[in-house]
Amino acid sequence: MKNVTVIDHPLVQHHLTRLRDRQTKPADFRANIRRLATLTAYEATRDLGTRQCTVETPLETARGLRIFQRIAVLTILRAGLGMVDPILDLIPEAEVWHLGIYRDEATLQPVEYYQKLPDTHAADVALVLDPMLATGGSLVAALDAVRRWGVPRTKVLAIIAAPEGIRYLTARHPDASIYVCAVDRELNEHAYIIPGLGDAGDRAFNTTGV
């Protein structure tokens, strides 16, 4: 799959297995989302632009590198919220923008109800966060917004994906890079990922769902 990176690190697979387990409680579910977001971000940010600099250690001058690009973290409400803090731990200077999108259960189409993006001065790189890449509708809507904003490079960070969603997203945004912990078998008739992990938002926030 072009532009798709599946992270098969043992730590990723260990925490993903705990995430899938229906017995995992909301607090542990959120903790595993954070761990997986950190590991996914590590892979997704390998090619960020850096510049040489010098710093003063307690002993002498040392050469180093600093990230110079402006990085935007774009989270899809609400499930994507659990992925924000671990990325800010890694990139404290990143700016965070929010998109409110939900899936109409009758049509399975994304419905946007909130957007907070600046009108000008696009970032250099956008990290778009959503634990589930199912139909791809919400993430395509998010990438459409990022493109309108004028961001030249986009990276999608998800926990699990369905092949159908990957095909749809890459057809609409072939230049976007996708980083996932697993590509599952398929979508069911209700557009849930199978075997999946249920509804990430409901499980993270202890609300009624699958």
pTM listed for this prediction = 0.91
Q: Mean pLDDT throughout 133-152?
A: 92
Render pLDDT for 162-198 as a digit per residue (tens, 0 to 9). 999 999 999 999 999 999 999 999 999 988 999 999 8
- Its domain, for residue 9, covers 4-205
Nearest to 200 by CA among 76, 63, 115: 76
Q: What is the CATH number of the domain that holds 84?
A: 3.40.50.2020
Render pLDDT for 88-98 as a digit per residue (tens, 0 to 9). 999 999 999 98
Domains of the chain: total:
1
* DSSP three-state, residue 154: strand
| 48-57, 113-122, 171-180: segment of lowest average pLDDT | 113-122
Distances (CA, A) of 45 to 20, 67, 105: 25, 10, 34
Distances (CA, A) of 50 to 46, 47, 66, 200: 11, 9, 5, 34
b/e map 133-167, b = 16+ CB within 10 Å: bbbbbbbbbbbebbbebebebbbbbbbbbbebbbe
- pLDDT of residue 33 exceeding 80: yes
Residue 179 within a domain: yes
Residue 152 within a domain: yes
Please give the helix or strand (H or E) that residue 102 lies within, else none. strand 95-103
Backbone φ and ψ for 19, nearest 5 degrees, come out as -65, -40
